[in-house]
Amino acid sequence: MKSAIIGLFVLVAIALTFEESEARLVCTRRICDTVRCAKQKCTAKQVLVKKGGFCGCCDLCVTILKEGENCADIFWRNSINSEMWRRTSVYQRSL
């Protein structure tokens, strides 16, 4: 019985830790007040998406891939949220 209570306590602690870390990833109303954006220098294969970075705080260079090109290498480096992607002309041209 004692080990079951300890196990339950550990599970609750893990769940609370996960919930707290998830809460830090939420875009709050004033999150951009604390963000310092780096100036973006896009390459020839990229387009600048205004306010396209995390939470819409900073501009973002987004790599444009041709059909069949591997996206795994760039996915985490310049990901763009789906709402920002829908608002860009890049998305419109790719339809």
Per the structure, the count of domains in the chain is 1
Tokens of 83: 């709402």
Listed in sequence order, the DSSP H helices in the chain are 2-23, 82-86, 89-94
- Contact by Cβ (8 Å): 32, 46: no
Question: Which domain covers residue 71, as residue numbers?
Answer: 2-94
pTM of the model: 0.49
pLDDT per position as a tens digit, 48-87 = 889 888 788 999 888 777 777 776 655 555 555 555 555 5
Q: What distance in Å separates the CA atoms of residue 88 and residue 68, rounded to the nearest whole number?
A: 21
Tokens 């260079």 belong to which residue?
Answer: 61
- Contact by Cβ (8 Å): 50, 59: yes
